[in-house]
Amino acid sequence: MLNRSMTRHRLRGILAVAAVASLAAVGLAGCSGTSGGAANGPIGVALIVKTTTNPYFVAMEDAAKADAAKAGVKLTLAAGKKDGDAATQIQAIEDSISRGDRGILITPTDSTVNSAIAKARKAGLYVIALDTAPDPANTVDITFATDNFAAGEAIGKWAAAQLDGKAAVIGLVDLFSNQVASVDYDRDQGFLTGMGIPTKDKTKNGDEDPTGSYTGGKGGDYTIVGNQPSNGDEADGRTAMETLLSKNPNINLVYAINEPAAYGAYQALKAAGTEKSTILVAIDGGCTGVDQVSKGIIGATSQQYPSKMASLGIDAIVKLAKTGKKPSVSDGLDFFNTGSQLITDKPVAGLPSISSADGAKICWGK
C-alpha cells in the first residue's frame, strides 16, 4: 500500500510539472505571436505620410492598404495634419515602437523626425522612407522614391525649350521657407539645372544669382523674382503666387513643387489675366494634375508613382520578416529609384516624354 501511494504521488508531481511546462510554452508562443515581426502572428507595419489633404499621399495609403490585405499585414495609418507637421509623425513613430511593429514606412516631413527614426531602428524596426529621402540618407534603412532632382531637371529642360530664347522671368513656388526637406531643394535645384541656370548649394533654395543667362533650349536672359512657400497646398500656392506677382507682374515662367500648389498658382495668374502667357510646370503627375496638363493649365509635369513606392515598401518588410532578405538601392544611388516620366502635350525633340492621355492611364502608378 505504501509503495502504491508513493507511486501515485510521484505520478501527480510529474503531471503537474508537465502541465506547468505546457502552459509556459503556450504563454511564450502567445507573446511571440503579438510581436510585429513574429512568424506566428501578423506582421505589423505603420505607414506615416505627410498629410492626407494631398491626393498623392491618399494614393500611397490606398496602395498600402490593398497590398497589406493581400499579405496579411496589420497596417496602421498615420498622417500629419498638414505638410510640415513633424510632431504628429514623431508621435506615430513612438506609437509604432510601442505596438511592436516590424517596420515603418514614412514620408519624412523634415530632419526633425530623424531622432525618432533612430529610436525606432534601435528598437529593431525596419524603417523605409517613401517619396522623400531623409538627410542624411542613412537615417533610414532604405528609401523608395523618385529621383526628385531628375524630375525637376526634366521640367526645367522642357520649360527652357518653350521659351524659345525669350527672357525668362521666373517665380518659384517652393514647399517650405522655414523647414528643410530634400524633396523641396531637389526639385527646385533640378528645375534650375534643367533650365541651365547655375546653382550654388544644391541643398538650399534661393541662393542662386537673381539675374543672368540660362543655357537650356536656345538660351537667354533670366530674372528670378523670388521663392515663396506653398506647403504643397492649393490655397497657399495661390498666396505664394500672388506675393510673387506683387513683386513683378511680368512673370512668364512658374515652377511649382507639386500640382496642388501649381493649381493655386494658376488661379492667381488667372486673376491677374496672365495665365495664357505664363508657362507653368510642376511635379507629381497625379490624375488631377495630368488632367490639368490635358486642359493646358499645366504645361508639363514629371509623373511619380506613389502607389509603387508603397507596394514596394510593404513587400520589402514582409520579405524581411519571412526570409531575412533586405532590399537594395539602385546602382549609383543611395536610394531605390521608382522612376518618373515627363508628361506634356507639347513634346520637345530629344527630351523623352509621354502625352497626358498616356499619363492618365498610369497616374499614381495604378
List, for residues 144-186, the tens digit of each pLDDT value: 999 999 999 999 999 999 999 999 999 999 999 988 899 999 9
What digits encode the pLDDT tens for the residues 121-130?
999 999 999 9
pLDDT of 33 strictly over 60: no
Cα(92)–Cα(117) distance, rounded to whole angstroms? 11
pLDDT band at 41 (very low <50, low <70, confident <90, very high): confident
152 and 60 together in one domain: no
167 and 298 together in one domain: yes
> 101 lies in a domain?
yes
98 and 127 together in one domain: yes
Cα(343)–Cα(299) distance, rounded to whole angstroms? 9
138 and 154 together in one domain: no
pLDDT band at 226 (very low <50, low <70, confident <90, very high): very high
pLDDT band at 28 (very low <50, low <70, confident <90, very high): very low
If you average pLDDT over residues 4-33, what whole number do you get? Answer: 34
Return the closest-CA partner of residue 249 out of 230, 213, 273, 214.
273
What digits encode the pLDDT tens for the residues 185-222?
999 999 999 999 999 999 999 999 999 999 999 999 99
CATH number at 141 reads: 3.40.50.2300
For residue 98, give its domain range. 43-146+307-327
Angle at 33 between CA 29 and CA 35, to 5 degrees: 125
pLDDT at position 365 is: 86
Return the closest-CA partner of residue 288 out of 80, 50, 56.
56
pLDDT at position 333 is: 93
210 and 318 together in one domain: no
293 and 161 together in one domain: yes
> 208 lies in a domain?
yes
pLDDT at position 29 is: 29
pLDDT of 271 strictly over 60: yes
Q: How many domains does the chain have?
A: 2
341 C-beta neighbours (distance < 10 Å), count: 18
Which residues, including other chains, have CB under 8 Å from residue 18's CB and lie 6 or more apart? none
What digits encode the pLDDT tens for the residues 78-101?
999 988 899 999 999 999 999 999
Phi, psi of 74 (to 5 degrees): -90, 100
194 and 265 together in one domain: yes
pLDDT of 35 strictly over 60: no
pTM of the model: 0.85
pLDDT at position 40 is: 61
124 and 220 together in one domain: no
* DSSP β-ladder status, 168-174 and 103-106: unpaired
Cα(102)–Cα(38) distance, rounded to whole angstroms? 8
CA distances from 269 to 224, 249, 252 (A): 17, 9, 10
> 8 lies in a domain?
no
What digits encode the pLDDT tens for the residues 229-269?
999 999 999 999 999 999 999 999 999 999 999 999 999 99
Cα(344)–Cα(294) distance, rounded to whole angstroms? 8
> 212 lies in a domain?
yes
Torsion (CA) 33, 38, 39, 45 in degrees, nearest 10: 110
Q: Which of residues 35 and 185 earns the better pLDDT score? A: 185
